Amino acid sequence: MKHKSNKTFNTALFYTLFFSSLALTACGGSSGSNEPSPKPTPDPDRIIFSIIEKGDIFSGKPYVLLNSGTDDVNDYQIQAKYGIVSSTHPHTGAEAPKNHLYYYVPEETLKNSDDFYNITEEITITSTTDPEETEIITYTIGADDLTNGDPVFKDQWHIKNIGQNPFDVDFSPVSGIDLNVIHAWHLSDQNKELISGKNVKVGIIDTPTDIEHEDLINKMYTPDSGKSYINTGVTQDEVLYDSTILHGTAVSGIIGAESNNGKGVRGIAYDSSITSYDILNMDLTDFTACSDDGMQVLNASIGYDETVEAYDPQISAIYQSFFENNIPFIRAAGNEFDEPDIFDSLYYISDLECVKYKIECQYNQTSSFNRGRYVIHTGALNSLGIKSSYSSTGSFIWISGMGGEFGYESISESSAAIVSSLYHSALSGFDDWDYGTPWRNNKELGEKRKYYTQSMNGTSAATPSITGVASLIIQAKPDITVPQLRYILATTANNDQTDGWNTLEYDKVTVSGVSGLKDSYTADLGWYVNGAGLRFSNRYGFGVANAGKAVIKALNCNSDPLCKKREKLPDDFISTNSEPCSSSDSGHTVTCIFNSFVNADDNSAIKNNVEIEEVSLNLSSLVLTADDTDPDECSASYGSINNITDQGVYYSKKLMQIDMTSPQNTASVIKPMYTIWDFSPERIKSTYHYNDYDFEFLVHNSSFFTEEFSPDDSFSVTFRSMCSIDVATLNRNIYILVGGYENL
């Protein structure tokens, strides 16, 4: 005999299983009489289970059950249709105390369930002495649970993409295009704790986080320093004045929104601690407080002015301090792919070749904020598995995260943005990011979504998705260094050849040349393999982060020689050969050869091969010279500094391509033809009162990572420019700086 009852597993504290059938004659007749046997009085106290610790089907965290009835649980066989009921803890291997049991859902079972986000479970309890005595309990567990779920979690495709489209966008998310976070959550650290970002302190440099938000209020960590710009919160007046101030709250939710609280979303590192640094009230010098406050990773979904006026040598020093203190600085690469952030140039408005050829419109290594040598520059991917339309590209990109597109738009083709936290109060009269969208107007779910948004996007959204993954990695390896984190992200990323990720494929981009130079240029090489066997592209860096693979690699870092090597910071090696650059056509084509590398700290010659961590090219002396054959616009770029000069700079630097080749013959595009660049060494020299071009202006190239070069090897760089380059001045202070590890 089977009796079915329906209970909601998580909505009440106690679940009593009544076994009226356990009396021996409850299901059958008697031995010698045709009269029905009287049914015994049910005994409700034989098995009484209560949940003493809630679990989580999305991480495999077990529910802990206690039987306070009169019978021993060992007298019963207890089986689940989907999950597993066991007396052994699934992660620690420890045996449960007497009359305790664990219930959990294996990851593979969850993956293959009909509804990934909710499971209707059936628990069958059978007496070991009489198999006819059976009870079946049915209940639902998952995201929709009122006290232990996350009802808006189902919309977070960046964590688990099953093709869901609650947004009513034209192009639904493509199933499988996500960060493989669920697998990471099912892994355990060295202490047998599930990976969740536990004990990781995350600093968020952004607009202030709403510290009263229901999914963030329990996640905020306030350091002892008590600085005035830390965890300031967001007032209603500020939101009503300008709702973009909620940017930092959306960023925070992607990283660390609380899980299993019956509310909203969940963060990638849902057990991490968040500290909000209000960028609106900070100076550059305040950035160092992040080190003093014990932050283990920093998220910067922000950008200063992307023009050369944003040059500031302080920033390089700050970045170096973070690096030396092993604090990863994860930063948004920019959103200027098809919309340059320079609006006063007469020389590109009518003819954006970058848009025509689908290459980067603005060179994003002008601002000092974008040029940190070991900063983890992050590009954005959309829900279709393609680079987000706005996401900046370049040789400096390290990794790609999930940034989405623009969400629901009634007037254009649309695909999903990112779902995250917004504000703790549903204010009337404020500029709601999601006003009028089907997602917000849904009558059934609108109440659950009212403090959240489906419109977060940009590399601003992609960056916290990487910071969330980094937090999981840091939990797996708390003593991790920045080079180890960079190595793990790069070597575990999904690229165009990863199964299920052919959406990342794209062809190299060839653009028509400029009259008098070449017929054509390869402005984007597409995907290619470097000399160490790693795939790279200027669109995606080393690929899209894979949280599960990254955590596994972090757990095994010490057994990986290249990862183990990076427990120490790299040394710097600088090229020292004199006059490396030459030209045979009056500075329109300039070839530079860099060799004779020495240790930058003590000038000692290298004796063995060096494994590359990072390569930078100093361009502080890249200036132009007069040539009667050049267009008139070229002369404007080196005249006195004024608006006409600016226009000339835009023109001349747009019509320049810079390529670099490693000793292992790996080619890389540093600056593409037709990408607008307002770089002016003369302006920097004048503004900062340098006597010569002896300052540092490093642009970065990620693509040679883990390649090796010998003491006799050379790097080469080629400039091709419509306007003539002053080769003599260029030779004053051009060099290559390599961060790397000399093999001993």
DSSP code, position 97: P
- Phi, psi angle pair for 309, to nearest 5°: -65, -15
Residues 6+ away with beta carbon under 8 Å from 561: none
Nearest to 655 by CA among 722, 715, 716: 722
- Phi, psi angle pair for 682, to nearest 5°: -60, -40
- Residue whose tokens read 């309890």: 125
DSSP code, position 705: T
Measured distance CA(8)–CA(452) in Å, rounded: 26
Question: Is 656 strand, coil or helix?
Answer: strand
Residues 6+ away with beta carbon under 8 Å from 382: 388, 389, 403, 404, 405, 415, 416
Beta-bridge partners for 138: 6, 122
Token reading at 578: 């004199």
State residue 337's pLDDT score.
92
Measured distance CA(670)–CA(521) in Å, rounded: 13
Instruction: Write out pLDDT tens, residues 89-130.
Output: 999 999 999 999 999 999 999 988 878 999 898 988 888 887
pLDDT score of 611 more than 50: yes
533 sits in the region (left: phi over 0; alpha: psi -120 to 50; else beta) called left
Confidence of residue 646 (pLDDT cuts 50, 70, 90): low
State residue 15's pLDDT score.
36
Nearest to 739 by CA among 577, 561, 541, 574: 574
Burial-class residue 603 by CB neighbours within 10 Å (0-12, 13-18, 19+): exposed
H/E stretch holding 379: strand 376-381
Percentage of the chain exceeding pLDDT 90: 68
State residue 306's pLDDT score.
52
Token reading at 592: 């530079």
State residue 275's pLDDT score.
98
State residue 41's pLDDT score.
40
Measured distance CA(676)–CA(650) in Å, rounded: 6
pLDDT score of 344 more than 80: no
DSSP code, position 88: B
State residue 706's pLDDT score.
99
Catalytic position from the list 272, 460, 637, 680: 460
Contact criterion met (CB below 8 Å) for 72 and 44? no
Contact criterion met (CB below 8 Å) for 527 and 536? yes
Q: Which residue has the higher pLDDT, 699 or 371?
A: 699
76-80, strands of its sheet edge to edge: 4-6, 134-142, 118-127, 76-80
Measured distance CA(698)–CA(420) in Å, rounded: 36
Q: For 712-743, what is the HEC assignment? A: CCCEEEEEEECCCECHHHHCCCCEEEEEEEEC
Residues 6+ away with beta carbon under 8 Å from 302: 205, 206, 279, 331, 332, 460
Report residue 26 CA to chain centroid gap.
Answer: 59
pLDDT score of 629 more than 80: no
Mean per-residue pLDDT, 340-348: 53
pLDDT score of 475 more than 60: yes
The type of residue at 728 is A
pLDDT score of 146 more than 50: yes
Q: For 114-168, what is the HEC assignment? A: CCCCEEEEEEEEEECCCCCCEEEEEEEEECCCCCCCCCCHHHCCCCCCCCCCCCC
Mean per-residue pLDDT, 254-263: 97
Least confident of 8-22, 295-309, 409-423: 8-22
Instruction: Write out pLDDT tens, residues 28-53.
Output: 333 344 444 444 444 556 778 888 89
247 among known catalytic residues: yes
Residues 6+ away with beta carbon under 8 Å from 584: none
Q: Which residue has the higher pLDDT, 123 or 235?
A: 235
Residues 6+ away with beta carbon under 8 Å from 691: none
State residue 69's pLDDT score.
83
Token reading at 609: 């091969």
Measured distance CA(124)–CA(22) in Å, rounded: 14
Burial 176-196 (b: 16+ CB within 10 A, else e): ebbbbbbbbbbbbbeeebbbb
State residue 304's pLDDT score.
63
Token reading at 410: 């009634």
**CA separation (Å) from 49 to 7, 73, 99?**
13, 10, 9
Q: What sign does the dihedral 494-499-503-505 (CA atoms) show?
A: positive
Domain ranges of the chain: 4-142, 153-333+367-495, 340-358+509-525+570-744
**Residue 174 exposure: Cα atoms within 13 Å on the Cβ side:** 14
H/E stretch holding 647: helix 643-654
Nearest to 595 by CA among 613, 614, 579, 619: 579
State residue 606's pLDDT score.
96
For the chain, state the CA radius of gyration.
30
State residue 518's pLDDT score.
76
**CATH code reported for the domain at 340-358+509-525+570-744:** 2.60.120.260
pLDDT score of 251 more than 50: yes
The type of residue at 207 is T
Contact criterion met (CB below 8 Å) for 284 and 310? no
pLDDT score of 23 more than 80: no
Catalytic position from the list 91, 158, 213, 247: 247
Q: For 547-584, what is the HEC assignment? A: HHHHHHHHHCHHHCHHHHHCCCCCEEEECCCCCCEEEC
pLDDT score of 416 more than 80: yes
Measured distance CA(249)–CA(241) in Å, rounded: 16
- Residue whose tokens read 């023109």: 651
Contact criterion met (CB below 8 Å) for 620 and 697? yes
Q: Which residue has the higher pLDDT, 346 or 509?
A: 509
Q: Which residue has the higher pLDDT, 609 or 290?
A: 609
Mean per-residue pLDDT, 343-353: 54
689 among known catalytic residues: no
Instruction: Write out pLDDT tens, residues 171-209.
Output: 999 999 999 999 999 999 999 999 999 999 999 999 999
Confidence of residue 222 (pLDDT cuts 50, 70, 90): very high
- Residue whose tokens read 């350091």: 223
Q: What are the DSSP calls for 250-291, one per residue? A: HHHHHHH---SSSSS---TTTT-EEEEEEGGG--GGGGGHHH
Q: Which residue has the higher pLDDT, 30 or 583?
A: 583
Nearest to 453 by CA among 426, 415, 413, 414: 426
End-to-end alpha carbon distance in the chain: 74
Measured distance CA(728)–CA(432) in Å, rounded: 56
- Phi, psi angle pair for 110, to nearest 5°: -60, -45
DSSP code, position 95: B
pLDDT score of 369 more than 90: no
Report whether CATH 3.90.850.10 matches the domain 153-333+367-495.
no
**Residue 322 exposure: Cα atoms within 13 Å on the Cβ side:** 29
Question: Is 449 strand, coil or helix?
Answer: helix
The type of residue at 213 is H
Average pLDDT, the chain: 88
Catalytic position from the list 56, 145, 155, 206: 206
pLDDT score of 637 more than 70: no
State residue 462's pLDDT score.
99
Report residue 470 CA to chain centroid gap.
Answer: 8
